[in-house]
Amino acid sequence: MPNLFIVADGMGGHKAGDYASRYTVETIEREIKSSFEKNPSIIIKKAIQTANKEIRQRASEDPNLTGMGTTVVVATVIGRYLQVANVGDSRLYVANSQEIRQITRDHSLVEEMIRLGGLEREEARLHPDKNIITRAIGAMDTVDVDFFTVELNPTDKILMCSDGLTNMVDDQQILQILNRFPGDKTLVETAHALIDAANENGGKDNIGVVLVRPYSDEVTK
């Protein structure tokens, strides 16, 4: 793969959650680098499944890590196309000056409630069960992975983030921040502005942000 971007948001207590997210990222990177498979979706799926298996194994061996898990979003840009995989409620967006699109689908209780018509999307961010996820690395012996392919335009930006951002800042405010800085500003300033907005709105969770301009060499996290 010519590039690889990952966001993982751990759970199960501070120590266990940090371990789960870090180990998952390291395992996915290792598995992808060592793969001889050509299809990116197969490469990523196998890497995530290996991470799930190893997280489960390590949690069974160490009582301090019992119950640990993590969300994960994995992306790679190949030519004009963005390949995305996700497990959990961390997200990937594609945005330009006109709109922001959530590409991933949250694996969460409130998302299921929205899908079944029991909850309006505007209510989801404030729902008391918004942090309950229905799929995670380490939660079960096997893990289902969602995949998406997106054709990119030259002006698109990619945003990958944990729910520490999206629980605090809605999509339209995110879009406003992404468009606040002119082209000569770096993605670092935009990322700091997103994190600042989440903290100003409450900042109740870890905030992970990765920003990519796919048609440039600039990435920040």
pLDDT of residue 220: 63
pLDDT of residue 204: 72
Note the residue count of the chain: 221
Which H/E stretch holds residue 146?
strand 146-151
Q: Average pLDDT in the 142-169 region? A: 95
pLDDT, tens digit (0-9, with 9 covering 90-100), for 157-196: 999 999 999 989 999 999 999 998 766 568 899 999 999 9
Q: At 30, is the secondary structure helix, strand, or coil? A: helix
Question: Which tokens go with 183?
Answer: 């082209």
What letter represents residue 135's amino acid?
Answer: R
pLDDT of residue 218: 57
46: confidence class by pLDDT, cuts 50, 70, 90: very high
pLDDT of residue 68: 96
What letter represents residue 124's amino acid?
Answer: A
pLDDT of residue 190: 93
Taking the alpha carbons of 144, 28, 79, 160 in that order, is the dihedral positive or negative?
A: positive
Q: 12-16, 99-103, 138-142 — which is least confidently predicted?
A: 12-16
What is the spatial distance between Cα 176 and Cα 66, in angstroms, rounded to a whole number? 40
Cβ–Cβ < 8 Å for 170, 87: no
What is the spatial distance between Cα 189 and Cα 178, in angstroms, rounded to a whole number? 10
Closest C-alpha to 25, from 7, 40, 37: 7
